[in-house]
């Protein structure tokens, strides 16, 4: 009588469960991201059609033929090149300053085990930006820098510094203290141990913090619409102005929105592996 291998007996149900599990996971991911994907492609369709097709009923989803007139229009009739330059300067400087301040601050909070200070940083991170708007606006007017890129950069630090500090706290808390103790034993001071030991190990966390801070600053609208001047507007504010004065011109509005979205989207796509690696490294305790 032929014996039944218990491993083969459970092999088929295991494979079936694994297959259906993957199908369920794939279906759940599609269900979650499909609305965002549909909105993105609908916006892309609007930007590649003329106004007659954009207001047609039933809607025309696939443009025939597609046109780049909307993109040409926003760059030729508006100062979108200047607005893009302003966005790059403000977001880049806000991210750089946040790294210079936030990385050492996160290290100090993590190694000093200052959980209360860490929670204070979290409160600052989740506080609505509107709470900072009026004090900052009055401060900039008193300093006579209202409407400048400097004022806009300083206001974005409210977003970027708490983001960097909170991300870096988790990375430095995961670091083995023996590494720094060995550096101190070899004659390094605290800053040398931080620069030569802690920072190289925390590079994935620094990359994640920089990417998230840059995206948050790039997409910020609230500070730009109040603090920025006519020549210091950023791209999100420019899109808002286009929607205000050209409510029926959906093609240029969609093209402008894509111009704002594209840098963040491309940055996320190209560095998604670094983001996942950095977040995973920060979540492993050891």
3-state class (DSSP) for residue 102: helix
Contact 184, 193 (CB under 8 A): yes
What are the sequence ranges of the domains in the chain?
6-47, 70-283
d(CA 98, CA 156): 9
What are residue 147's DSSP bridge partners? 228
Confidence (pLDDT) at 3: 54
> Which residue ranges in the chain fall short of pLDDT 50?
1, 246, 282-286
For 113, half-sphere exposure in the C-beta direction (CA atoms, 13 angstrom radius) is: 1
pLDDT of residue 16: 66
Domain 70-283 of CATH type 3.40.30.10: no
How far CA 40 is from CA of 43, 171, 242, in Å, comes to 5, 34, 19
> Contact, 281 vs 205, CB < 8 A?
yes
Coil, strand or helix: which one is 228?
A: strand
The answer to whether the CB of 74 falls within 8 A of the CB of 251 is no
- Cα dihedral 110, 115, 116, 122, rounded to 10, equals 80
Q: Which two tokens stand for residue 82?
A: 């200047």
CB atoms under 10 Å from CB of 58, counted, come to 5
pTM: 0.78
Rg (CA), the chain: 25
pLDDT score at 97: 95
């Amino acid at each position: 009588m032929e014996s039944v291998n218990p491993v083969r007996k459970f092999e088929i149900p295991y494979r079936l469960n694994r297959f259906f599990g993957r199908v369920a996971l794939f279906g759940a991911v599609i269900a979650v991201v499909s609305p965002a994907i549909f909105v993105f492609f609908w916006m892309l369709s609007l930007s590649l059609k003329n106004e007659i097709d954009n207001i047609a009923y039933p809607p025309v989803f696939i443009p025939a033929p597609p046109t780049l007139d909307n993109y040409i229009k926003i760059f030729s009739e508006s100062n979108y090149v200047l607005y893009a330059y302003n966005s790059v300067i403000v977001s880049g400087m806000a991210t750089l300053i946040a790294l210079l301040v936030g990385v050492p601050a996160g290290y100090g909070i993590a190694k000093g085990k200052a959980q209360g200070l860490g929670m204070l940083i979290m409160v600052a991170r989740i506080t609505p930006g509107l709470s900072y708007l009026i004090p900052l606006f009055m401060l900039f007017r008193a300093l006579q820098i209202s409407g400048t890129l400097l004022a806009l950069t300083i206001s974005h630090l409210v977003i970027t510094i708490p983001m960097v500090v909170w991300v870096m706290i988790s990375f430095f808390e995961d670091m083995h203290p023996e590494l720094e103790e060995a550096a101190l034993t070899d004659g390094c001071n605290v800053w040398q141990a931080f620069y030569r030991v802690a920072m190289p190990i925390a590079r994935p966390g620094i990359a994640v913090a920089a990417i998230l801070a840059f995206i948050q600053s790039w997409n910020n609208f609230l500070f730009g619409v109040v603090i920025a001047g006519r020549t210091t507007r950023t791209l999100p504010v420019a899109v808002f102005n286009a929607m205000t004065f050209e409510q029926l011109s959906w093609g240029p509005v969609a093209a402008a929105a894509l111009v704002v979205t594209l840098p963040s989207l491309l940055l996320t796509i190209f560095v998604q592996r670094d983001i996942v690696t950095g977040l995973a490294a920060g979540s492993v305790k050891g």
